[in-house]
Amino acid sequence: MNKDNINRRAFLERLGSIGALTAAAGAFPWFQSCTPKATDETKGNVARLGIIGPGSRGLLHIRHLLDIDNAKIVALCDNYPANLEKAAALVPGAKLYTDWRKLLEDKEVDGVIIATPLHLHYEMTIAALEAGKHVFCEKAMAYTQEQCLEMYRKHQQTGKVLIIGQQRMFDPKYLLAMKRIRSGEFGPVVNVRGYWFRNGDWRREVPADHPELERHINWRLYREYSRGLMTELACHQLQNGTWATGMLPEKVIGTGNLVYWKDGREVQDSVCCIYTFPNGVNMTFESVISNKHLGMGESILCKEATIDLPGNRIYREHATYKSGMHHLITDIEKGIFSSTAFAGTSWAADNNRDLHGEVILEDAVPGIEGDGSIELMQTFCNSVISGEQPKDVLEEGYYGSILCLMGDDAILQERTVKMEKDWII
């Protein structure tokens, strides 16, 4: 066991000792499947895995799997030699494939991790489940709602595990916050805000001597392979909205445009969608990739507080405001600032909203607590060994994907898109 692994295990064990998190894990049963107890139950067994598409995300999964005791990467497949070589260097001894169908014939592979571009998820997942493999497929689940549904049905028919890459479901601060939101502690949810702002062209470098690789490498920018910001970014925020409210939106309107990066791409660089839940609550998703000031946000607005999930903070509506001087002294006492300029508005007195907030997960350990990605991999390994589908995890991922596809349909077709009965599972 390497150092990171020991730290991660210690971290999970420590979390297990936080009463609130134990209760949260009980409320969201998929989390049980990555606890030390669940991992101990699979002891002595190994999940033999094949990775299809070890590009940027796939390589991260490989790094995490190398830290997981009961994971063994036995096969790698990529049709881009440079990426296959990078992965092979991390896992010497793994069998190498350039044809994913051949990897699926490999009897030593129990489960596959599919981290290829969006348009391939459906075909690869269906074939893998039919070949008797357990499947972890990256988000978004597939290119159309119908494909997502077929993947779900295929998982049901074959009885093989299917997990979609929604790592926030395994992030301890999200689990704690969602438990409290769902308990009604902050009053009813009145609005959900998701956004992702970046300032960059979203392009990957194409080798100068191989310009023909443009579409292979920059698949995100072309409609044949991707549905742009909605499938590549929005799934996480939209899944949080259904998780927090316990409801599915019934409709969405949206607009999207190419505002800045007019470089031959086919997907928008600016989108804005409004989803409406049956009780009238709105959930927005907005993304722009030519201004990053607002960053990435997932806020649950309740009657009594706003919960900033990635920021690990709860902002009360009726916080007791103290003077700016009081804030300053407290901040220096807590070591938040070693010194503070007596200018600017960051600690301005009583500006009528809570700027400081309460921390959600008090003793998060910097550098160890991640975003849930390694716990998601641990869950997949445990599930491959036990053959048991973790509860609710696929359904959450499925609806996250259905919603981002509905949003993109609304943008493209310039109409209100309603949740169809056929998509309800």
Question: Which one of the spans 111-119, 250-258, 262-270, 410-418 is the region binding ligand NAD (CB under 6 A)?
Answer: 111-119
Written as six digits, the tokens of 117 are: 């571009």
Tell me if 372 contacts ligand NAD by CB under 6 A.
no
CB 302 to ligand NAD: min, Å: 26
Q: How far apart are CA 165 and CA 380, in angstroms?
A: 10
Which residue, 58 or 310, is less far from ligand NAD as judged by CB? Answer: 58
CB 210 to ligand NAD: min, Å: 12
Which residue, 98 or 323, is less far from ligand NAD as judged by CB? Answer: 98
Tell me if 401 sits within 8 A of 164, measured CB to CB: yes
CA 180 to chain centre: 20
Tell me if 424 sits within 8 A of 89, measured CB to CB: no
Written as six digits, the tokens of 131 are: 């070949």
Q: Report the residue closest to ligand NAD, judged by CB.
A: 55
CA angle in degrees (0–180, nearest 5) for 192-354-324: 160
Residue 317 burial by CB count (10 A; 0-12/13-18/19+): exposed, middle or buried? middle
Question: Which one of the spans 54-62, 125-133, 183-191, 393-401 is the region binding ligand NAD (CB under 6 A)?
Answer: 54-62
Could you give the string, one character per residue 193-232, with x where binding to ligand NAD holds by CB under 6 A and - elsewhere? ---------------------------------------x
Question: Backbone dihedral region of 186: left (phi > 0), alpha (psi from -120 to 50 degrees) or beta?
Answer: alpha
Which residue, 136 or 186, is less far from ligand NAD as judged by CB? Answer: 136
Tell me if 298 contacts ligand NAD by CB under 6 A.
no
Question: Which one of the spans 63-71, 113-121, 280-288, 401-409 is the region binding ligand NAD (CB under 6 A)?
Answer: 113-121
Size of the site for ligand NAD (CB under 6 A): 23
Which residue in the set 51, 76, 118, 229 belongs to the binding site for ligand NAD (CB under 6 A)?
118
Which residue in the set 80, 197, 222, 260 belongs to the binding site for ligand NAD (CB under 6 A)?
80
Q: How far apart are CA 386 and CA 363, in angstroms?
A: 32
Q: How far apart are CA 163 and CA 390, in angstroms?
A: 8
Q: Considering all CA atoms of the chain, what is the largest pairwise distance in Å, rounded to the nearest integer?
A: 68
CB 303 to ligand NAD: min, Å: 31
CB 395 to ligand NAD: min, Å: 17
What lies within 8 Å, CB to CB, of 179 at 6+ separation is 20, 23, 24, 27, 28
Tell me if 52 contacts ligand NAD by CB under 6 A.
yes
Which residue, 52 or 129, is less far from ligand NAD as judged by CB? Answer: 52
Tell me if 230 sits within 8 A of 238, measured CB to CB: no
Q: How far apart are CA 274 and CA 224, in angstroms?
A: 25
Binding site for ligand NAD (CB under 6 A): 52-58, 77-80, 83, 100, 115-118, 120, 138-139, 165, 167, 232
